[in-house]
Chains A and B, each alone.
Chain A
Amino acid sequence: MNSRPPLSTASFRERALAGARYAADIIPPDTVLAEIVRSPHTHARVKRIDSRATLAVPGVLAVLTAEDFEGIRLGHLCADEPILSSVARYFGDGIAAVAAKDRQSLMRGIEALRIDYELLPHAITIDDALASPVAIHDFCADNIAEKFQAVRGDWQAINSRVALWVENTFETAAIPHAYLEPRACLVRVDGKRLELVCGSHAPSMMADFYRPIVAGWGSQLEVVTPAIGGSFGAKWEHPSQLVCLLFAQRLQRDVAMVLSRRDDMIAGRTRAAMRIRMRIGATAEGELVAKETTLWCDNGAYSLHGPAVMKAAAIRGDNLYRFSAIKADAQLVYTNNMPSECFRGFGITQSTFALEQLIDELARRLKLDPAKLRLSNTVREGDTAVHGWKIGSCGIADCLDGISNRIDRHRRDNALPRSERYRTGYGLAAFIHCIGNRGYDKRFDRAFVTLRTLPEGGIRISSGEVELGCGTVEVLIKTVARELATNRDQLEVVLGDTATGPHGMGSYASRTSFFVAMAALDACRRFKRAAEQMRVEFGMTKPAEIGELVARARQQQRLGDLEVTGDYQPSGVVVPDETGYGNISAAYTFGAHGCCVQVDTYTGKVTVTQYWAAHDAGTIVNLNETQGQVIGGVIQGLGFALTECASVAESGQLLNPGYLDDRVPTFPDAPPVEVLFTDTYEKKGPAGAKTIGEPPIIPVPACIANAIRDAVGVRVYQLPMTSERLWRAINDDDARSGPKGN
């Protein structure tokens, strides 16, 4: 098995030719299959598991239960998720696992498994969980997983300056990530060596996490990354992987698991639902002065990245404006819902729904243009923002101008008669975001790129960051081809292979292109230095072609000297303090969105007819892929804004575990999106570039909400803003008053 060459990462072209191989495509037909048996109850103690009948089914090889994973918990920030649990804490929690030689035996084995439960009272809303006498975890009596507070500025002084407060309470929904490739993994076993083939966006971190566990079983672990069919923040560690690892280790056979769409939606994680009470205060002239946020974040049954998502939601968006005073008070609450996880935007997508609607409402109250109000209050290059972010290149003014112009022109050119039934409105919203997060991992925020000259010719570029469809492979090839003046077809890219490549933090936090390009630049510098040394040593007189040099090196068996690893760590960044103060990122990205909506007042249906997205992503290196990220993010945001929701019954059962009932946007839902980029150069970035991954989704729900307000004079304070909710808002006179002020 060790002779297997590393899996090269599928390029755009290979994906376009349907040649990319995802985890499920790599599983050989005769592989042992495993499946997790999930709780049909929302909160229940497992009294007894009888696996005798299961083990008697021909073809069934083994059964695992909680006992087999004693003491092992998942969770980078708070290790609280058992691999298989003796207490079901949400509908679909994994209780047991079965492995069998084929699918039929597996199904029969699962059917034969007897699990007796003792039902416990459950809490699926934040309020119920806070009021519940029943603790979801023994170690947490009040169901509050974590609290966070931040206070900045002189709150005595601001009272005299604030002429107007606007305030409201907003709710955002839990939604599944709904990536198209359900979770799948394959574990290959070779004696004590286990190899986990699985599409994770952070394979090195996964290996870091699993290695001590696997070492406890007397085995070693490597992780291999095939093509990844979408993650959007979800594909971190998951119990399915450890279940396959332990089966493989015990059975000494390769084991695979592919989740069904239903299981993936029931147990695959969601965006954290939040309730956000927020108020902002301004002077009569429209200077933003203060912001106060009280936030409750539904953690679900287990923590994963809940603590960090809650903190980000509570304060990060504040850095966009020059607030003098900030208060934030947030609680992360355990409920009997599916565990929440990061999801494109990392909590800021949720809180921006609140903040950008209040800013819009403030502009209405003060009779100011919403773009101008923002323009006069946003941070600028050279600022240290309210939470310590040091603002470098900043194109927010151009973004706001661009969107404002587009809206004005569209309004002028499309002056439609207002019909009684259909109303048209325009909305605008803005955001700030970071590139990586020094605070995520106490050790470092860092990336490596290794260049290795191959005996058979060409250069292999390796990194621990992965390709999620955002263009990592292209960024690496472009950078190395340019720097080493070599042909693209001489370059092979291997991402997320822990056995042969360097460590990587992972492709999250909109960090990948920036970090890998910087590390690749460093690797190229080192490569050129090594090549130059070798040239002198070989007595080659003129600056040699790389190919010539490599041929000589190969001849003299000196290829190893042409293996280099480049490294990038942003300078000037710090781990923020416990109140979230500190400069977490080398540079920051900005943007403003605008849209035109048509509301059918008879049904409450919202149709977004035109969308504009202006982004400061630094100097654009790959126009197509950057634009693609923007358009994709906007459409994903459209789903979050209008249709998507994990519908949970009072029993705690997820009612819509599939695409039919969890309405993600499809072709007819997608309005035309016009993308604008500012002409910004980020001097800390690779070739002036910043990044784009998460930002495009962040302002979408608020942008649409502001357009709805413009069209029909009401707001829906709860996501998704479904037809029914909007119809109710339109037909309820109380709702017309809008957010309450003083």
Chain B
Amino acid sequence: MSTGKYLRVNGTEYQIPGQWLGRRLLDYLRHELRLVSVKEGCGEGDCGACTVFVDAEPMCACLLLCGVVAGRNIITVEGLPQDFRQRFAQLCEKHGGLQCGYCTPGFTMMSAWLSGGGTETGKDPLDKLLAGNICRCSVYQQLKKVVAELT
């Protein structure tokens, strides 16, 4: 069923099936496209584990309906440049930037955003920019070093 609505995800264009227009982008990415790096931690926009880029801005995929972001450009961890992902992983190893790893995809997206200049960088300290991502293993201090070295 074509609705004329599409999404561009990691560079590929997808027609959004009609029944998905009123459903969460998070579920579409995870269940339809099997992009399971996008994690659900809370479903309420508090934890940041489902952070994706919508037209290059980080947003929680659990708060967006597919229909609302129709026509926009979505990037998930799978769509980030390989060399960035490798570099992020190396720095995580160097600084101990993760433990259980469940929040890692969200932090990867935030790190990519910040290292790309992030539209508000400079206005707020790093702490504040990353306050929307929860790591219950609480490796914040280590992640700060990862991000600092990336940016």
Contact = CB atoms under 8 A, between A and B. Distances in A.
Contacts of B85: 17-18
Nearest to A672: B141
A392 interface: no
A657 to B, nearest CB: 10
Q: How large is the interface on B (under 10, 10 to 19, 20 to 34, 35 or more residues)?
A: 35 or more
Interface string B82-93: 000110110011
B138 A18 contact: no
Contacts of A664: 134, 136
Contacts of B103: 180
Given A16-B92, A180-B103, A181-B100, A667 B137 contact: no
B93 A16 contact: yes
B105 interface: yes
Nearest to B88: A16
Interface in B99-147: 99-105, 108, 126-128, 130-142, 144
A20 B99 CA distance: 12
A228 B93 contact: no
Most A CB contacts (10 A, CB to CB) among B77, B92, B99, B135 go to B99
Contact of B44 (A18, A261, A665): A261
Nearest to A230: B100
Interface string A659-670: 110001111101
A600 B64 CA distance: 39
B71 interface: no
A554 interface: no
Contacts of B137: 230, 469, 628, 632
A673 B142 CA distance: 10
Nearest to A16: B89
Given A181-B41, A261-B42, A29 B102 contact: no
A15 B104 contact: yes
A627 B137 CA distance: 12
A468 B130 CA distance: 24
B36 interface: yes
A229 B102 contact: yes
What secondary structure prevails in chain B residues at the interface with A?
loop
Contacts of B44: 261, 658-660
Contact of A666 (B88, B108, B134): B134
Given A18-B77, A18-B108, A261-B41, A625 B96 contact: yes
B100 A628 contact: no
A621 to B, nearest CB: 14
Contacts of B86: 17
Contacts of A666: 130-134, 140
Contact of A180 (B95, B100, B128): B100
A229 B134 CA distance: 12
Nearest to B36: A25
A727 interface: no
B33 to A, nearest CB: 10
B49 A180 contact: yes
B46 interface: yes
Interface residues of A, number: 52
A667 B135 CA distance: 9
Contacts of A625: 96
A24 B89 contact: no
Given A22-B102, A181-B41, A470-B99, A230 B128 contact: no
Nearest to A229: B102
A229 B102 CA distance: 5
A182 interface: yes
Interface string B59-99: 00000000000000000011000000110110011111111
B46 A668 contact: no
B134 A632 contact: no
A635 B100 contact: no
Contacts of A25: 30, 36
A179 B39 CA distance: 13
Most A CB contacts (10 A, CB to CB) among B34, B41, B130, B133 go to B41
B42 A16 contact: no
A20 B101 CA distance: 8
A227 B44 CA distance: 23
Given A229-B100, A624-B96, A667 B49 contact: no
A632 B40 contact: no
B132 to A, nearest CB: 8
Interface in B24-40: 30-32, 34, 36-37, 39-40
Most B CB contacts (10 A, CB to CB) among A181, A261, A666 go to A666
Most B CB contacts (10 A, CB to CB) among A17, A625, A627 go to A17
A229 B101 contact: yes
A447 to B, nearest CB: 21
A230 B102 contact: yes
Contacts of B47: 180, 659
A532 to B, nearest CB: 35
B89 A180 contact: no
A665 B89 contact: no
Most B CB contacts (10 A, CB to CB) among A232, A632, A664 go to A632
B100 A668 contact: no
A636 interface: yes
B88 A670 contact: no
B17 interface: no
Given A179-B136, A631-B141, A632-B139, A18 B102 contact: no
B141 A659 contact: no
A666 B107 CA distance: 13
Contacts of A12: 92-93, 98
A181 B102 contact: yes
Interface string A1-24: 000000000101101111111101
15 contacts: A13-B89, A16-B97, A19-B37, A180-B47, A180-B102, A180-B103, A227-B101, A227-B102, A229-B101, A258-B40, A468-B99, A624-B94, A665-B138, A670-B138, A672-B141
Given A15-B104, A469-B98, 12 more contacts: A16-B97, A17-B85, A21-B36, A230-B99, A230-B102, A469-B137, A470-B99, A628-B96, A628-B137, A634-B138, A666-B140, A667-B127
Q: Give the top 8 A-B pairs by smallest Cβ distance, nearest first.
A: A469-B99, A15-B101, A229-B102, A635-B138, A16-B89, A469-B100, A659-B46, A628-B96
Interface of B: 30-32, 34, 36-37, 39-44, 46-47, 49, 77-78, 85-86, 88-89, 92-105, 108, 126-128, 130-142, 144
